[in-house]
């Protein structure tokens, strides 16, 4: 009789030989572990950025709208885009930090866990909706999908891309520390 060492086998082989009853539990545990890691590392990253007086927020799309004028826009369709080029959000700047880690646990944990379980189960997830300006992206819809994909180590994601051609100074080419500080001062006065 041969004794199998499951630690030396590849993960796909191990998962193919799992009792289907245990499959959902294994996926849930992996998603929960990824969620806990994402929350911990996100809090640590935000603390470090605050300590060094660096911005930790997602870039707000309204900053682009304030500084730039729209020249043209067109739909590019579904594309595979790099996750590290997604730098901002159209509407959910306060819910996620600059690395797409959840900032609040209350309402988003269950949604995040469902999305992570879908990714881990190799289910098809809908494409996220993004706006492309230059080589950067802002999320319109799909914040939890982007967050879960980043936390699970994915490098790319499918996205429905709308390209905007703008004229003016793009916020990510200015000094981000000064920009965030000026925004905070403007809000307080």
pLDDT of 16 reads 57
1-169: in CATH 3.40.50.1380: no
Q: What is the pLDDT of residues 114-140, one digit of tens each?
A: 999 999 988 889 999 999 988 889 999
44 within 8 A of 128, measured Cβ to Cβ? no
Q: How far apart are CA 75 and CA 62, in angstroms?
A: 20
For the entire predicted model, the pTM comes to 0.74
Q: Is the dihedral of CA 177, 183, 187, 188 positive or negative?
A: positive
- pLDDT for 7 beyond 70: no
Task: Write out the two tokens for 93.
Answer: 């700047």
Task: Mark out the alpha helices in the chain (DSSP H runs).
Answer: 11-16, 20-51, 61-67, 109-120, 143-151, 176-188
* Domain boundaries along the sequence of the chain: 1-169
Mutual angle of helices 109-120 and 143-151, in 10-degree steps: 60
Q: What is the pLDDT of residues 22-79, one digit of tens each?
A: 777 888 888 889 888 888 888 888 888 778 887 777 888 887 777 777 788 889 899 9
């Amino acid at each position: 009789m041969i004794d199998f060492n499951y630690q030396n086998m590849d993960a796909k082989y191990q998962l193919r030989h799992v009792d289907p009853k245990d499959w959902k539990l294994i996926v849930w545990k992996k998603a929960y572990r990824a969620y806990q890691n994402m929350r911990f590392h996100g809090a640590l990253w935000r603390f470090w950025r605050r300590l060094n007086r660096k911005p930790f927020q997602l870039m707000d799309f309204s900053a682009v709208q304030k500084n730039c004028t729209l020249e043209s826009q067109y739909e590019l369709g579904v594309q595979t885009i790099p996750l590290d080029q997604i730098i901002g959000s159209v509407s959910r700047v306060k819910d996620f930090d600059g690395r797409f880690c959840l900032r609040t646990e209350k309402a988003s944990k269950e949604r995040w866990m469902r999305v992570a379980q879908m990714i881990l189960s190799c289910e098809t997830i809908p494409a996220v909706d993004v706006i492309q300006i230059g080589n950067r992206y802002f999320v319109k819809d799909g914040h939890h999908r982007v967050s879960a994909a980043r936390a699970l180590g994915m490098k790319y994601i499918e996205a429905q891309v709308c390209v905007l051609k703008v004229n003016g100074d793009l916020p990510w080419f200015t000094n981000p520390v000064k920009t965030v500080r000026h925004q905070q001062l403007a809000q307080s006065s």
